[in-house]
Amino acid sequence: MGAVSGFVKYSMFIFNFIFWVCGCVILGVSIYARVSKYGQELISENANGINVYPAMNLLIAVGTIIMILGFLGCCGAMKESRCMLLLFFIGLLLILLLQIAAGVVGFVFRSKVEKTLKSVFESEVKILNESNPESENFRKNLDKMQQKFKCCGLIHGAADWGNNFDKYSASCECTNEGKSICVQYKGKTVYKESCGERIISYLKKHLVIIGGIAFGVAVVEILGLVFSMVLYRQIGGK
């Protein structure tokens, strides 16, 4: 009869204990931010009019799933429970398959995402030339974005502001910068790049980083699957 490897058993325990702690942290921080008065004030100050609560709810769900999987892995390893290890294996395998599916969909539709963003920007650019109070929030948020990211307008640059250019031109002004990123518009030196272009280039740049992180996470998950199945088979062979 086979024996259970101490190395595999304790490696599995340590891996899942870290996994469980990460889940606890994600869940605790997410719940605190979602329900506490201070957390909601902090979100409201930094959201700039964007509804971040769906993202917080998603983080709560992710934290809960990670906690449950970590608990199953830890207990399954220490108690040498085949049932818990099998549940851990199935849960982790489903998450890995979902990540792969999301990666494939993201790769296939990345050009469509860019087109969709441009279409949304085109539909919203007319708001910049309006003066109605209902859309004032959007203009103020773009004004802050211009100042922070050194861009101007949404699609076509400073011209997007139309009659409102003088009102919001201060955040567009290009001072002490290289001439290649500046243009002249209505007697003022402004940033050439639009904020829409900046958002798209930012997303493209960080997709590589996200892809690298996802790949690293997938490698860790595969190791978890291998350890759990090796331990599962060793327990069955005892």
Token pair recorded at residue 147? 């100042």
The whole-angstrom separation of Cα 99 and Cα 35 is 29
Is the Cα torsion angle 136, 138, 139, 145 positive or negative in sign?
positive
Q: Give domain status of residue 216, yes or no.
A: yes
Query: In this structure, are 17 and 84 located in the same domain?
Result: yes
Residue 43 — very low, low, confident or very high, per pLDDT cuts 50/70/90? low
Query: In this structure, are 44 and 20 located in the same domain?
Result: yes
Query: In this structure, are 135 and 59 located in the same domain?
Result: no
Q: Does 1 score more than 50 pLDDT? A: no
Number of domains within the chain: 2
The whole-angstrom separation of Cα 60 and Cα 212 is 24
Give the residue-averaged pLDDT of 211-235: 83
Token pair recorded at residue 106? 């993201």
If you ran DSSP here, which 8-state letter would residue 190 be given? E
pLDDT digits (tens, 9 = 90+) for 59-69: 888 889 889 99
Query: In this structure, are 57 and 76 located in the same domain?
Result: yes
Give the residue-averaged pLDDT of 14-41: 80
pTM of the model: 0.62
The one-letter amino acid code at 185 reads Y
If you ran DSSP here, which 8-state letter would residue 110 be given? H
Query: In this structure, are 83 and 27 located in the same domain?
Result: yes
Query: In this structure, are 118 and 102 located in the same domain?
Result: no
Q: Does 219 score more than 60 pLDDT? A: yes
Give the residue-averaged pLDDT of 96-103: 83
Q: Give domain status of residue 194, yes or no.
A: yes
Give the residue-averaged pLDDT of 96-123: 78
Query: In this structure, are 118 and 226 located in the same domain?
Result: no
Contact 130, 162 (CB under 8 A): no
Query: In this structure, are 88 and 19 located in the same domain?
Result: yes
The whole-angstrom separation of Cα 53 and Cα 34 is 7
Percent of the chain as helix, strand, coil, to the nearest 5: 80, 5, 15
Residue 87 — very low, low, confident or very high, per pLDDT cuts 50/70/90? very high
Query: In this structure, are 101 and 213 located in the same domain?
Result: yes
Token pair recorded at residue 3? 């024996």
Q: Between the ranges 80-84, 118-122, 213-217, where is the mean pLDDT highest?
A: 80-84
Query: In this structure, are 116 and 81 located in the same domain?
Result: no
Q: Give domain status of residue 167, yes or no.
A: yes
Q: Give domain status of residue 1, yes or no.
A: no
Query: In this structure, are 52 and 161 located in the same domain?
Result: no
| Domain containing residue 33 | 6-109+207-236
Q: Does 51 score more than 70 pLDDT? A: no
Contact 143, 161 (CB under 8 A): no
Q: Does 38 score more than 60 pLDDT? A: yes
User: 18-22, 39-43, 121-125, 221-225 — which is least confidently predicted?
Assistant: 39-43
Query: In this structure, are 10 and 99 located in the same domain?
Result: yes
What pLDDT is recorded for position 42?
Answer: 55
What pLDDT is recorded for position 177?
Answer: 60
Read off φ and ψ for residue 174, nearest 5 degrees.
Answer: -100, 100
The whole-angstrom separation of Cα 217 and Cα 193 is 35
Q: Give domain status of residue 155, yes or no.
A: yes
The whole-angstrom separation of Cα 91 and Cα 67 is 12
Share of the chain above pLDDT 90, in %: 5
What pLDDT is recorded for position 166?
Answer: 86
Q: Does 35 score more than 70 pLDDT? A: yes
